Structures are given as C-alpha cells and as structure tokens.
Structure 1
Amino acid sequence: MAPESFEDSADYVQSLARGLQVLRAFSHDMASPSLSQVAERAGLSRAVARRLLLTLQHLGYVGSRGRSFYLLPRVLELGYSYLSSLDLTELAQNTLALLSERVGESCSLAVLDGSDIVYVLRVPVRRVMSVALGIGARLPAYATSLGRVTLADLPEAELTAWLRGQKFRAITTHTLHTTTALKAELKRVREQGYSIVARELELGLCSIAVPIHAADGRVVAALNVGMPYADDAPARAVKLILPALQDAQRSIEYAIQHGSWQPHMALTRAYA
C-alpha cells in the first residue's frame, strides 16, 4: 500500500504520527524551540502542537522552561530500543576502537533510513566536520560514502524508486547531485566494493566506506573512516586505510554470522 493510501485508511493513527512529527522538530540547531517554532517545523497548527507537547511533557519526554520546550533523557529510550535490538553495535564496538587506533582517524557505523544515513556507532578522533556527529546524527545518503555503499546494494528497481523520490542539491561544488551521475557512481561502488567521497559533503572532508553484510549477503550497515581533505587524501585512503577498513569489515561480518566477536589479526597490528 502506498504511503498516501495508508494515511487515508482506518489503520492510520494520525495523533501518533503528529506526536512523532513534534519530536522530530527538535534538533541540534533548535534544541529549545518555542511553541510557534515547533508548530512551524512539524507543519501543525499551534493548538495541535500545544496539545501534543503537553502530552509529551506529561509522559516525561519533553520539558518546558518559560516559553521554550526541550527534550528530556527519556527520549533516548526510543532510540536505545532500536540500538539494543541490534547485536551489530555491541559486536562492532571493539572493532571500531581497534580500527580507529590503527589508522588514527574517526570511524563510524551507520544504517540507511529513508533519505539519510543514521549513525549508530562512532569513535571520534578529531572533529573534521563543521557539524557535531554523534549517535543518531543524520546525513544525506547520496552525498556520503556510508550512504553510497548501502545504496549500491539495493536491487535495481528499488534503487530507481529511491532515486526518483529524492531531491538532490549541490551541497558543495563537488557534490554529485544528478540521478545520472549518482547511478554511475553507485555502479562503480558496487563493482569495487567501497566508496570514496571527497569534498562533496564538506570541502575539508574525505571519507572511505565499505558495506557490512549479514549472513544472507544483504548489506545491513556501512563502516567508514573520515579524514581531513588533502590532495593526496583519496589515494592515501585507498592505499593505506582501505586494507584496515576491510579487515574491520571481515571482523564485524564474522561477529554477525557467529554471534561473537573475534578481531581480524591485522587489526591488532600498528598502522604504518
């Protein structure tokens, strides 16, 4: 059933959908919005937004200070329920720590969620982006190495539908932002088994990612290493970082398939 059709059905709970819209109105750049700001961001009337905020406040998900509202720690339970259902994050934690130590750069694990990739695990070394990235942070999938290795695994019909449903823009002058260019790049990623994105999301950023496969071969997540951009960064990423990334990939996939963690031996060697 198409999303629009389901929203007109008797099974669709509009109040629940609106409540989630209100929660999504909070963000890093608007941590304590006013009622009017929440209503505008959620696309709701002030009266509806007010009732939903008061309900969320009663349930312990939202607090208020004067005319501003803010999220309370209980909201984390919603995300933690998802993360705790993924053995993946627990099994990958040690591998990311070893990988980060080996290459001396920040490492991340993310999953595809609609138009975005969502970070589910991260070991930061230094801040290489202008925005702070943490668990739950979202970035546009089409402009990230994490997103591209995940998208490259989609069946052709599913990928075509995904591309058709997106609105692309040139985030920087280097961003691939047309369907034709992205399809060609995803084909290349599928063939080579990794993705490099340089200066497409931010001018000072370069990253390289590999897919994480489940036992049945499906890509269930993506693993990357991010680094400051330099002219030799892409070549260095392929020559020096990709082998370490692939060792980590094998370690995490082993853990997924066997339910226990065993580091790939190369991960314990010093990075040169």
Structure 2
Amino acid sequence: MVTADRSRDRVQSIERGMAVLRVFDGPERRLGASEIAARTGLPRPVVRRILLTFEHLGYVRSERGQWSLTARILELGSGYFAASSLPELAHPILLDIVAELHESTSVGVLEGTDIVHVARVDDGRPLGHTLRIGARLPAHATSLGRVLLAEKTDAEIAELYRGVPLERFTPRTAARLEELLAQVAEARESGYDVSIEEYNPGMLAAAVPISVEGTAIGALGVSSTTVREDERSLREVVVPRLRAGAAELARAYRDANPRPFRNR
C-alpha cells in the first residue's frame, strides 16, 4: 500500500499505461479504444496516446481499429519467471500432485486483497470456470488467500481491508471483517484452509502456505468440485499431499535462492 506522503512520487502516466495493459486480462483478445476507455475510466484521447506509445514499443498492435497484445509483452514477466523463481520451481511439483490427486493445482501469491495465480496445472476435467496464470481472485473468499492472510496480524488485516468492502459471492462468503478474521485465525492455527462454495457454487478448494524459514513466499492449493470432493476428503487426503508438496517446493526455492535467506 502506498502511503499518502509518497503519493507525490508516483508517475501518473505509468499508472495509466498499466491500467490500459490490465484491461487485456479477460477472454477478449481484441478491444477497441472506446471499450478500453470505458473499462479504465480514462478519456479516449489519453487511451489512444497510450496505445500508440505501446504500439511503438512493440507491446500492442492494431488491426481494423481493434487492439491486442503482442508476444513481446511476455518480456515484462520474464524476470519473475526465471529459472529460480517460484512458478518455474513449482511446475514439476504441481504435475506430480495433479498426477496423484487428479485435481487442478495452483500456486498463488498475495497482492493487496487479491490472490494472484503464478503457477497452475489443470487435470483436464472441466471445473465450470477456467483459471490461468495471472488470474486474480479475492483473498477473503479463497483458501489460497486466507492461508496467506494468516501470515498477518489481525490489525494488519483490518488495515488492509480498511475501506474495502468484502463482497459476498455466495451465501457462504465472509462479508464482514469479523467473519474473515475468525476464518483466518482458524487457518493460522491449523496451518491450512478449506473453502467450500465460498467463491463459486459447486466449487471447493484447500490450500497450505509455502514457508521458507518462517516466511510464506506463496500458497499451494487444489481446486475441485463438490461432485468429486467433499470437506472430509480435502482435510484427510488433499491437505496432507499439499503439505508435502509445499515442503518440497520450499526446499527447492531455498536452495535456488540462498542469498535472500543468508542472514536469517
């Protein structure tokens, strides 16, 4: 969170440019300038200048008035997805979990009040919705989110959600801070979280933190449907496998990135 005394240091044009790029996070691959302006809340002339700048840099292209990203956009994430990064190290571990449990598996990190999926392997069966790398979901309504919120104190969580409404997606979603804090406290004590139809009806999930020397660098989770799993199977079968996978991933990350942990 950027504090008020540092807001003067922000570059508004960069913030606007990033807002334009983030519009391309949905299923639509091509968007018109007017639609981008509507989604970002920016004036259309501003959006047009931003798009022309990104076109000059090679990150977007225009065809018949429709704008789309180019493959060069992948350069922006190449450092994060380096050989020693969490997503790269997680992939073979996710493959093993999917082969064993036959359920889709993800690694997520906390960004503000959202969980961002940075690695994912699907088992190939339909889940009713598709998650891809980079997908953002509300932390308060997801198991991946709550196990990472559990790394924070209640005061830090209250500050994080100050002025941020807790949207109720289903009747099971925590819509009050007190409810969320109770769920997070349970996840903090047990070391895992289970979500039953809190974000999507018919969907459930379980997650554990990926902890390296006492610091959670992400969370590892499995998502499924109420047809294939229930709360008992999540707790008794899925969570133990996730814990083993998280421990393996934590060791791999620690070995690949010794410098950040040298003085801990």
Fold shared by both chains (TM-score > 0.5): yes
SS in 2 for 1:206: strand
Moved more, 53-62 or 92-101: 92-101
2:233 is aligned with 1:236: yes
| Deviation of the 1:205 alpha carbon | 0.8
TM-score by length of 1: 0.88
Q: Is the 8 A contact 1:56 1:62 kept in 2?
A: yes
Amino acid at match of 1:239: E
The residue aligned with 1:55 is 53
User: 1:86: how far off?
Assistant: 5.3
Shift of 1:250: 1.4
* CA 16–41 in structure 1, closer or farther in 2 if over 3 Å, else same: same
Work out the number of aligned pairs and report it: 257
Give the equivalent residue in structure 2 for 1:114.
112
Single out whichever of 70-79 and 251-260 deviates more from structure 2.
251-260
Counterpart of 2:226, as a letter, is Y
Tell me, what secondary structure is at the counterpart of 2:29? coil
In structure 2, the residue matched to 1:145 is 143
**CA root-mean-square deviation:** 2.0
For 1:173 and 1:122, locate their aligned partners in 2 and report how far apart those are by CA, in whole Å: 27
The correspondence of residues 88-167 of structure 1 with structure 2, limited to 5 A, is: 88-167=86-165
Distance (whole Å) between structure 2 residues aligned to residue 59 and residue 232 of structure 1:
47
Tell me, yes or no, if the aligned pair for 1:35 and 1:69 is still in contact at 8 Å: yes
Structure 1 unaligned runs (5+)? 261-272
**What SS is found at the alignment partner of 2:183?**
helix
Match of 1:81 among 79, 82, 86: 79
Paired amino acid for 2:245: A
Classify the secondary structure of the residue corresponding to 1:81.
Answer: coil
1:210·1:222 contact (CA, 8 Å) conserved in 2? Answer: yes
Matches within 5 A, 1:34-73: 34-73=32-71
Q: Decide whether the 8 Å contact of 2:83 with 2:89 is kept in 1.
A: no
Provide the C-alpha distance between the structure 2 equivalents of 1:12 and 1:46, rounded to a whole number of angstroms: 22
Q: Where does residue 270 of structure 1 map in the other structure?
A: none
Residue 193 of structure 1 is aligned with which of 184, 191, 201?
191
Which range moved further: 175-184 or 123-132?
123-132
Structure 2: any 5+ residue segments left out of the alignment? Answer: 258-264
Residue number in structure 1 paired with 2:250: 253
Q: Structure 2 counterpart of 1:46, which letter?
A: R
Contact 1:129-1:204 at 8 Å conserved across structures: no
CA contact (8 A) 1:128 1:227 kept: no
Cα distance per residue 1:31-62 (max 9 Å; x no partner): 32211111122221111111001001111111
* Residue of structure 2 in register with 1:264 after alignment: none
Distance 1:128 1:197, change over 3 A: farther
CA contact (8 A) 1:115 1:141 kept: yes
Amino acid at match of 1:221: G
Deviations along 1:99-132, whole A, 9 cap, x unmatched? 1111111111111112211111111003554432
CA separation of 1:232/1:53 partners in 2, compared to 1, >3 Å: closer, same or farther?
Answer: closer
SS of equivalent to 1:74:
helix
Which amino acid is 1:254 matched to?
A: R
Q: Is the 8 A contact 1:146 1:222 kept in 2?
A: yes
Correspondence for 1:204 among 180, 191, 202 = 202
Which residue is equivalent to 1:6?
6
Q: Give the drift of 1:257.
A: 2.5
Letter in 1 for 2:182: A
- Go from structure 1 to structure 2 and tell me whether the alpha carbon gap of 1:228 and 1:2 turns closer, same or farther (over 3 Å shift): closer
Determine the structure 1 residue equivalent to 2:262: none
TM-score normalised to structure 2 length? 0.90
Q: What is the identity percentage for the equivalent residue pairs of Structure 1 and Structure 2?
A: 37
